[in-house]
Amino acid sequence: MSLKEQLRGLKSLAGPYRDFDTGAAPDEPASLFGVWLQDAITHGIPEAHAMTLSTVDAEGCPDARVLILKNVDADGWHFASTKLSPKGRQIALCPQAALIFYWQPLGRQVRLRGQVSELSREICEADFLARPIGSRASALLARQSDVLEGDEALDIALAEQRHLIEGDPFIVSTGWTVYAVQPTEVEFWQADGDRRHTRLRYRRAMDSQAWQRERLWP
Ligand SMILES: Cc1cc2nc3c(=O)[nH]c(=O)nc-3n(C[C@H](O)[C@H](O)[C@H](O)COP(=O)(O)O)c2cc1C
């Protein structure tokens, strides 16, 4: 069987799924996001807090990778990484991003777009210090996505950083940053087995907290 035939034979969005009553949706998207995220966690979906972050580089070319959602509050949707990484450099040049969550067993997707900001040094440091020692050692390397010469170089560098942490348990990587995406668009997408998907988009102007809600064609 060719790959094309194999892919054609794979099921997608087979359902059955729950109904999405858009008439009962709240005035703003954060609380509905909270309900859907909680549903995903309660459903036992592995890594329900994993999301795709899209940014653009200096040439305007899109880039994307999976990250972990750290919090949602008045600042927006939080994620953490090092400023020195490609994504950190891209955000410094163009502080705009898109986030996508997909909870497959529920047939639900959430898309967000908006401005990215850096949170306070206190928040960044607290996030860094809450990480396990291996994650802190890796972040202290501050070489994410650089070309790796080989395993030996990595093992030596990690051992050095662990040694540093053992000597100073409160050492923090200067580049470690918690970012927040403050969305101006959030779309909730509920699959339907017959492809009569239900889509609800919240939109607001950059300088307004008044959300407009609109249904979208599937
Ligand atoms: C499930 C999952 C969770 C991840 N979480 C993070 C994260 O929270 N922060 C991070 O910097 N990278 C995380 N990564 C690694 C990123 O996908 C990516 O490889 C790395 O950040 C380098 O991206 P960049 O070269 O675009 O900067 C995660 C990867 C996966 C698959």
Neighbours of 52 (CB within 10 A): 14
Residues 6+ apart with CB under 8 A from 18: 106, 190
Ligand 1 nearest-atom number relative to CA 89: 27
Note the pLDDT of residue 25.
Answer: 97
Find the mean pLDDT for residues 60-81: 98
CATH class assigned to 22-131+174-216: mainly beta
Calpha distance 11→116 (Å, rounded): 36
Helix (H) or strand (E) holding 25: none
Binding positions for FMN are 65-70, 87, 109, 144-145, 189, 199
**Given pLDDT bands bounded at 50, 70 and 90, which one contains residue 161?**
very high
**Given pLDDT bands bounded at 50, 70 and 90, which one contains residue 112?**
very high
Are 100 and 118 within 8 A, CB to CB? no
**Given pLDDT bands bounded at 50, 70 and 90, which one contains residue 206?**
confident
Note the pLDDT of residue 180.
Answer: 98
Residue 162, CA distances (Å) to 66, 172, 175 in order: 26, 12, 17
Q: 67 CB less than 6 Å from ligand 1?
A: yes
Poorest-confidence range of 15-19, 180-184, 205-209?
205-209
Average pLDDT along the chain? 97
Note the pLDDT of residue 165.
Answer: 97
Q: What is the CA radius of gyration of the chain?
A: 20
Note the pLDDT of residue 142.
Answer: 87
**pLDDT tens, residue by residue, 8-58:** 999 999 989 999 999 999 999 999 999 999 999 999 999 999 999 999 999
> Given a cut of 90, is residue 163 above it in pLDDT?
yes
**pLDDT tens, residue by residue, 72-81:** 999 999 999 9
Q: How many CA atoms lie within 13 A of 200 on its CB side?
A: 19
Q: Which of 33, 21, 47 is nearest to 186 (CA)?
A: 33
**pLDDT tens, residue by residue, 122-142:** 999 999 999 999 999 999 998
Instruction: Give the Å distance between the CA of 116 and the centre of ligand 1.
Output: 17
Find the mean pLDDT for residues 137-160: 96
Most confident of 68-72, 194-198, 206-210: 68-72
Note the pLDDT of residue 92.
Answer: 98
Ligand 1 nearest-atom number relative to CA 88: 27
Instruction: Give the Å distance between the CA of 181 and the centre of ligand 1.
Output: 16
Calpha distance 218→214 (Å, rounded): 13
